Structure 1
Amino acid sequence: MDPNPSSASLTIPIVSTFASPFDNSPREKDSTKKPLSLWPGMYHSPVTNALWETRSKIFERMLDPPLDAPPQSELLTRTPSHSRTTILYNFSTDYILREQYRDPWNEVRIGKLLEDLDALAGTISVKHCTDDDSMTRPLLLVTASVDKMVLKKPISVDVDLKISGAVIWVGNSSIEIQLEVTQLTDGKTDDAESVALTANFIFVARDYKTRKAALVNRLSPETEKEKLLYEAAEARHQLRKRKKVVDRKEIENGEIHRLESLLSEGRIFCDMPALADRDSILLRDTRLENSLICQPQQRNIHGRIFGGFLMHRAFELAFSTAYAFAGMMPSFLEVDHVDFLRPVDVGDFLRFMSCVLYTESHNPDQPLINIEVVAHVTRPELRSSEISNRFYFTFTVRQEAKANNAVRIRKVVPATEEEARRILERMDADALSA
């Protein structure tokens, strides 16, 4: 069982990373710690800074891992409570922290929250996998995907916020972590009623020296809730394995009728634009794009670009795409899926390309806008471009925007077979996860 129960259920208070202009009392300094300028991720958010402070001994080993040290010789059995970690945002009293997270509608910036969720999930995965032995080399833990993230209600920036998470399932070398964002409002005292967002992250473990898959500590759920979460995660894992087989069969057999149905309207746009349906639009006409050079300040403890930073940038491009497409203020609903296909390094030229993949108007009160964002690592000197990440977001239209405007969400149609296949794949994936 868990050999170190005293470290369970860690709670970390979050404070602003900027000094108040009205506060003349300097913060205490610890001369034994590495200078802040050497800490990776410190520029992302106050959460990254707080998590580093809390686990500094573990993370400092990862900055310069002992590659000649032996790997962990014996797997341990951990409980979910061992990795459970909670962070608290004191928005009601820390006005500087509040300003760091405020969006134009006095809510928490979702893009910034995505950074924090990824950072917390990474800390939880490290806590589960460490063997507390400084004589062995640590594992390389990387974000493989975000399985699902659902916003259940708006998150106010004026009320204290809590994020809590733990490992809920492990495979041979993979780990699933569930996070819950809660905010007590309207006098509610029950955390179950105050859940504002849920997220499931999947991490994979690699040997730091060989970069091959590495075994992770086992998990022993104790409570009835933990057992149910484990069973549900195992079912999702099996579903993902079966879906890969089904996808291969569908590609082999073809879906001529569905593809032709999607492409028929697109051909009218391309060949006879004057006769095209004015309530539809070509997928390619919904695209937006931006690019950046990845900087050292955006790196994680492994020296690669922080996954939360990539999600933050992808979300803000997706939000802008939904805004330009709908013609009114969008409202975020969920991250359908995120794939981390290859690492992104400091100095990489990264291009984010977004489009509206498809729309749904079954419920006129909540039309859905499904956005795809694809990140490409581009190397002009080699004339190469590789996909590093795929992000899928779902938005609707804000209630106050609908009150003043007639909602008219256009249908998106593909012009090419490749676009039609992408639409069908996401529609099927969303139907499976519904």
Structure 2
Amino acid sequence: MDPSSMESNPNSISAISSPTAIPIVSTLASPFDAFSPSAGDSARKPISLWPGMYHSPVTNALWETRSRIFERLLDPPKDAPPQSELLVKTPSQSRTSILYGFSSDYILREQYRDPWNEVRIGKLLEDLDALAGTISVKHCSDDDCTTRPLLLVTASVDKIVLKKPISVDVDLKIVGSVIWVGNSSIEIQLEVIQLSKDNSDDTDPVALSANFIFVARDSKTGKAAPVNRLSPETEREKSLFEEAETKNKLKKRKRVANRGEIENGQEKRLEALLSEGRIFCDMPALADRDSILLRDTRLENSLICQPQQRNIHGRIFGGFLMHRAFELAFSTAYVFAGLVPFFLEVDHVDFLRPVDVGDFLRLNSCVLYTEHGHPDQPLINVEVVAHVTRPELRSSEVSNTFYFTFSVRPEAKAMKDGFRIRKVVPATEEEAHHILERMDAENMPAF
């Protein structure tokens, strides 16, 4: 605790009158501390007790920024009508940025530092989801406290690509805005921007980009709800809108068009994968030492979902799930390669079912396959499947499936003579089919 805050706080440890009781007080300020509530407001839950405070400092700041918009979500009017008329908003009205003052804020820098003096990607994924949520609420708000608010949830995340390492010694900025809306869905584009340490601007400062899809639900009925329209203004905004419109129209056609291509030659590829797996199972002494069975790359992590991990709607924060999945995937790649992995991208993620407080969550990971097309940058493709398990019902459902791609750090690779990433082979036909599906999904042409 900051000594200065202890001096000014009568409830701090230094002001304890009883030697047997040590009170614990929050070190986070509530945005409602500035006013004295009336008797009718005394039960109002302060924003500082919202779930964001339990995640990252940036997530907490975003929750407090949303305090005015979300104030009515704490206790929405009973039987309030839905929004009657849709508004037309511009991307600039939802545009939001956050700044990480790493160069001047030592505490913030330490909270985000990984062992290799770069930003912890897992925490960044958590912040990206929180920022996308803030932007979606800005766009969907009708500024009318008499209507019931929409329930906005993360539906999916498009491929997130790391374009260059993100240093923890240089200030970082994330900028995002709504780029497209459908009937009840919203697409938000986020860019992580960081200049080089020498402040040169001759290269693209965008270090990472991501697109989040949120869907709106009526908070009372749970059914899809219409969202405010979007009117792009600048040429870039119009271009992004058209690209997103085209992409969403072609999603179904893309799945159908590629289905036939995937089936062509499938049997030969399947047999080639299984033949090496059979040697491992039937004649392990003769198996290729540069290969490994898929099942031998598995790791698992289990947890009970706690109230501190929830979002404002009482369900588990999507950013928290991505954070935990990333760290398990990183560990899986680390154990597999024997060298420090380097994150490259996370493929499209669908949030198939909500995860609730109290759910038993199991995260299972494995290395699906490796790629050796570029000897200097071998690729490790890791799958993480999140299962919501209910032991009392003897049931288990998949809530999310994540696909991460890693390589190994060049400096670590150079220190290990003769280093080679092993090939992953399936032991069963089911595993072989799954590997081929993922390979084909990775190679699908983008629209």
Partner of 1:90: 101
Q: Compare 253-262 and 89-98 and name the one that shifted more.
A: 253-262
Cα distance per residue 1:48-68 (max 9 Å; x no partner)? 211122110222322333351
Partner of 1:418: 430
Q: How much has 1:87 moved relative to structure 2? A: 0.4
Look up the SS of the partner of 2:153 in the other structure. Answer: strand
Matched, 1:431 2:443: yes
Cα distance per residue 1:360-395 (max 9 Å; x no partner)? 110001111011000000111111110011111110
Equivalent residue runs for 1:98-109 within 5 Å = 98-109=109-120
Q: 1: distance between equivalents of 2:263 and 2:78?
A: 44
* Contact 1:314 1:352 (C-alpha < 8 Å) held by counterparts: yes
Look up the SS of the partner of 1:165 in the other structure. Answer: strand
Matched, 1:266 2:270: no
Look up the SS of the partner of 1:193 in the other structure. Answer: coil
* Contact 2:258 2:444 (C-alpha < 8 Å) held by counterparts: no
Matched, 1:208 2:212: no
Q: 1: distance between equivalents of 2:137 and 2:47?
A: 21
Partner of 1:335: 346
- Return the letter of the residue paired with 1:411: K
Q: How much has 1:71 moved relative to structure 2? A: 1.1
Equivalent residue runs for 1:44-59 within 5 Å = 44-59=55-70
* Contact 1:355 1:371 (C-alpha < 8 Å) held by counterparts: yes
Q: 1: distance between equivalents of 2:34 and 2:441?
A: 50
Look up the SS of the partner of 2:210 in the other structure. Answer: strand
TM-score by length of 2: 0.88
- Return the letter of the residue paired with 2:422: R
Partner of 1:239: 250
Distance change in 2, residues 1:279/1:94 (3 Å): same
**Matched positions, count:** 416
Cα distance per residue 1:170-222 (max 9 Å; x no partner)? 11111111101111224446497211111111111111111111111111111
Look up the SS of the partner of 2:349 in the other structure. Answer: strand
Partner of 2:324: 313
Q: 2: distance between equivalents of 1:248 and 1:64?
A: 48
Partner of 1:69: 80
Partner of 2:164: 153
* Contact 1:184 1:191 (C-alpha < 8 Å) held by counterparts: no
1:347 aligned to which of 334, 354, 358:
358
2:419 aligned to which of 407, 410, 426:
407
2:133 aligned to which of 118, 122, 131:
122
Look up the SS of the partner of 2:215 in the other structure. Answer: strand
Q: 2: distance between equivalents of 1:255 and 1:151?
A: 32
Look up the SS of the partner of 1:389 in the other structure. Answer: strand
Cα distance per residue 1:198-249 (max 9 Å; x no partner)? 1111111111111111111111111111122112222322332223334665
Look up the SS of the partner of 2:222 in the other structure. Answer: coil
Cα distance per residue 1:412-431 (max 9 Å; x no partner)? 11122222222122212211
Distance change in 2, residues 1:380/1:184 (3 Å): same
Partner of 2:409: 398
| Root-mean-square deviation (Å) | 2.2
Cα distance per residue 1:270-309 (max 9 Å; x no partner)? 2222222221111111100010000000000000000000
- Return the letter of the residue paired with 2:119: V
2:34 aligned to which of 16, 30, 36:
30
Partner of 1:4: none
Partner of 1:13: none
Distance change in 2, residues 1:191/1:109 (3 Å): farther
Matched, 1:220 2:220: no
The structure that has the greater radius of gyration is 2
Q: How much has 1:255 moved relative to structure 2? A: 3.1
- Return the letter of the residue paired with 1:200: N
Q: 1: distance between equivalents of 2:369 and 2:73?
A: 42
Q: 1: distance between equivalents of 2:89 and 2:203?
A: 25
Matched, 1:171 2:182: yes
* Contact 2:48 2:64 (C-alpha < 8 Å) held by counterparts: no
1:183 aligned to which of 188, 194, 206:
194
Matched, 1:324 2:335: yes
- Return the letter of the residue paired with 1:417: E
* Contact 2:180 2:230 (C-alpha < 8 Å) held by counterparts: yes
Look up the SS of the partner of 2:348 in the other structure. Answer: strand
Q: How much has 1:38 moved relative to structure 2? A: 2.9
Q: 2: distance between equivalents of 1:415 and 1:239?
A: 36
- Return the letter of the residue paired with 1:345: D
- Return the letter of the residue paired with 1:243: K
Look up the SS of the partner of 2:216 in the other structure. Answer: strand
* Contact 1:41 1:306 (C-alpha < 8 Å) held by counterparts: no
* Identical pairs, percent: 80
Cα distance per residue 1:98-122 (max 9 Å; x no partner)? 1111111111111111110000001
* Contact 1:20 1:96 (C-alpha < 8 Å) held by counterparts: no
2:292 aligned to which of 275, 281, 289:
281
- Return the letter of the residue paired with 1:30: A
Look up the SS of the partner of 1:201 in the other structure. Answer: strand
Look up the SS of the partner of 1:41 in the other structure. Answer: helix
